[in-house]
Amino acid sequence: MGTSGSQARTAEQRKEQRSELAVFLLITVVIFPVIAIGLVATMGFAIWIWQIFNGPPTG
C-alpha cells in the first residue's frame, strides 16, 4: 500500500518534469529567438526611419 503511493508520486513527478522540460525548450528554442530577432528588426527599422529624416551619418 505504501509503495503504490510512492509510485503514484513518482509518476506525477515524471509528468511534471516532462512538462517543465517542454516549457523550457519552448522558451529557449522558440520564444527567446523570436524576441531577439524582433528586437534587432525593431532597431534596424528605427535606424532606417531616423536616416530618412536626418540623412545618412557623415564622418
Is 33 inside any structural domain? yes
Is 40 inside any structural domain? yes
Is 7 inside any structural domain? no
Is 58 inside any structural domain? no
Is 59 inside any structural domain? no
* C-alpha to C-alpha distance for 54 and 50, rounded to whole angstroms: 6
- For residue 29, give the amino acid letter: V
Is 24 inside any structural domain? yes
* C-alpha to C-alpha distance for 33 and 3, rounded to whole angstroms: 44
47 lies in which domain range? 13-53
Work out how many domains the chain is built from and give that number: 1
Cβ partners under 8 Å of residue 57, min gap 6: 51
Each residue of 24-51: pLDDT tens digit?
A: 999 999 999 999 999 999 999 999 999 9
With a cut of 60, say whether residue 2 has pLDDT above it: no
